[in-house]
Amino acid sequence: MAEFGVATPSVKVVGAKSATATGKGLSVVALRKTYGDVVAVDEASMEIAAGEFVTFLGSSGSGKTTTLMMIAGFCEPDSGTITVGGLDVTRLAPQKRNLGFVFQQYLLFPHMTVQENVAFPLTLRGVGKDEIRRRVGETLEIAGLSRFAGRKPRELSGGQQQRVALCRALVYRPPVILMDEPLGALDKKLRDQLQVEIKTIQQELGLTVIYVTHDQEEALVMSDRIAVMRNGLIEQFDTPRELFERPKTPFVADFLGAANFLPGRIEQQDGEHTLVRLDGSGGLIKARRHDLATGTHVKVAVQPGRLRACAPDDGFCTGTVETATYVGTLVRAGVRIDGKDAPLLRLEVPAGRGPVAGERVGITADADDVNLFADEQAG
Amino acid sequence: MAATLTAGAPARPRKLLASRRTRVGILYALPVVVYLLVLFVYPIFSTLLLSLKDADGSFTLHWYADALTGVNLSVLFTTLRISAETAVLSLVFGFVLAQAITRLKPILAGLAMLIVVVPHFVSALVRTYGWIIMLGDKGLVNETLAAMSVPGAPFQLLYNELGVVIGTTSMMLPYTVLLLYGVMRGVDRRLMAAAASMGAGRVTIFRRVYLPLVAPGLASAGLLSFILSLGYYITPALMGGPDQTMIATLINQQVTKENQWNGAAAQGVILLVLTLAGLLLVKAVTSLGASRKKRSAS
């Protein structure tokens, strides 16, 4: 396992993808699934490139697992199509799709050894005995499981079992590997470690992976692109950086960045910037240019980490620090803004220069970090 | 019980407690030991002694020689054959039934289990007569077959081996269904989905995942119905002909008609040995399978 410990998950292999990808592309068009009156997945469409790591991120009931199950074939869509490597698999039985699946509960065969578990999909494909031994050995080696080959699953820890399940899903080089919250049953430390391992294996082998999780951090660490889902809809399908810095909806800004929201109205615009007059405090905040008309009611969204404390009256608003919590490298502060409604802004600032409770501070942010959303309700 | 009393004790004083734990353990075990001694060990040993005693009280093996020659030997083989047939059939029907019940909704499954088990509360004698009425020349089965003008009807369904096996299989079915249902319920259905996701078809999933997981249940259910059939008395006696005489019937005849206790005891001991042999055989087969797996993996 040590060889994976040094890998940084943020390394991108975009350039190498097309050359080394063993996985295939996948496309989903207008996929829809209803249970009675409830729309579980509503016209989901996306293109996933070969060798890409894509995560479906959402809370429970967002439709992320249903979408995955439809791709796997465990659940039949009402309408829409799924193609893998250009082949329509929408109406195929799961066993005919040749995909890999890693379950949250591992689901290793308890009557087989690790060796036999990993060999199982190869024996189904009529691979010769020597070839099976070679490929199983190779795959177990990658996951650092070679010395457990003769053990039964119940003799392994949770993390080891999930590594075996991963080996079993990738040993036959399926064009796409689907993972349904594979680390959900593991503790935090092991989860962090396996995130890096899975990501490294995925990059080295050029696997196409679709991953389901409700953990934002996990999604950000592992994914090339993330589909944020809510109520059966894909809110935004983008790279982690885009989602984090350029959220397209207030939900995405809140879900990924835990953004502060302030109501306001667009007062003035020029080529580069938009000026917004905040409702409660009356302060003026500068945002990067948005294509919204002057006078539009908007929600201003800024993430806690992108707000800075400054001298009182130097920022777009001023307030009093109510709480300041030291959390290691950061101080989390709650600042009550002066003026009507007096909202509480959450700040994350580097420890050391952090504000203290009771202090009067001004608050400022770079225009580039300020996102605006048209506020339909205030319309 | 004794273990749970001291389970919380730390490692160091465990030795000190050991003697006390043993004393307490013996106290707890006493009722069971007495029960086993009086109701199992004593009868078995006295039967054993009886089977080794001649009319004048001297040691002899001729009761065993009698039991293993001539008609007695063929009765023994008949018993083994009918028991094996019963075991296989009740396993097959039990498997299908239990399999069907596991697919039902919980309420319906409970109802189905009740239907399977309730007949067992009715006296075996009554059920056997029920079968005799059903399977006779003018019984429900033959009348129905004749009405459908099936060629060859009415069939001889009673007083032959077919009759006996129908009867004993129906008696064993609740045991096999109960045992298999328990094992099948314990199999995680999602394992089948996992196998399917890797490309396994229905037949492969059944053969390589499902069957190995329920195999221990199949072995114990088959063995149970085989052992129970070995000593079965009423059904073979009433539903079979002279060729279907089973060892239990023979023992009964020797005691009640010929007052021949020693011969009956010898046959009883043979029955017991056969049962134990069956148990050991199943155990050997299962442990052999396990060790072979271990070797092939390394």
- Percent of chain A whose pLDDT exceeds 70: 93
At a CB cut-off of 8 Å and minimum separation 6, what does B60 contact? B52, B53, B54
- Is the Cβ pair A74, B193 closer than 8 Å? yes
- Is the Cβ pair A124, B204 closer than 8 Å? yes
Chain segment A271-322, per-residue pLDDT in tens: 788 999 998 888 889 998 888 888 889 999 999 999 988 888 888 989 999 9
* Amino acid of residue A207: L
B198 interfaces chain A, CB cutoff of 8 Å? yes
Rg, C-alpha atoms of chain B? 25
Residue A210 and residue A54: Cα distance in Å, rounded?
5
Q: Is the pLDDT of residue A17 over 50?
A: no
B80 interfaces chain A, CB cutoff of 8 Å? no
Q: Is the pLDDT of residue A258 over 90?
A: no
The H or E element that residue A287 is part of is strand A284-288
Question: Most A CBs within 10 Å: which of B191, B197, B204, as the mutation test of the A interface?
Answer: B197
Q: Which domains does chain B have, with CATH numbers?
A: 81-244 (1.10.3720.10)
Burial class (CB in 10 A: 0-12, 13-18, 19+), B93: middle
Q: Which domains does chain A have, with CATH numbers?
A: 2-99+174-250 (3.40.50.300), 258-374 (2.40.50.140)
Nearest-by-Cβ selection for A98 from B191, B199, B204: B199
Residues of chain B where predicted confidence (pLDDT) is lower than 70: 1-18, 286, 288-298
Total residues belonging to chain B: 298
The per-residue DSSP string of B225-272 comes to: HHHHHHT--HHHHHHS-GGG--HHHHHHHHHHTS--HHHHHHHHHHHH
Q: Which two tokens stand for residue B36?
A: 């086993």
With 0.80 as the threshold, say if the pTM is over it.
no
Cα separation values, A165 from B99, B199, B238, Å: 28, 15, 57
Contact A176, A199 (CB under 8 A): no
Q: Would you call A126 helix, strand, or coil by DSSP?
A: coil
pLDDT of residue B16: 57
Per mean pLDDT, which range of A82-91, A324-333, B72-81 is the poorest? Answer: A324-333
Give me the interface pTM, i.e. the ipTM: 0.78
DSSP state of B210: I
The H or E element that residue B162 is part of is helix B161-185
Chain segment A166-190, per-residue pLDDT in tens: 999 999 999 999 999 999 889 999 9
Residue A366 and residue A348: Cα distance in Å, rounded?
15
The H or E element that residue A202 is part of is helix A188-205
Residue A311 and residue A330: Cα distance in Å, rounded?
20
What order of strands is seen across the sheet that includes strand A344-350?
A308-310, A360-364, A317-327, A330-337, A344-350
- Is the Cβ pair B293, A113 closer than 8 Å? yes
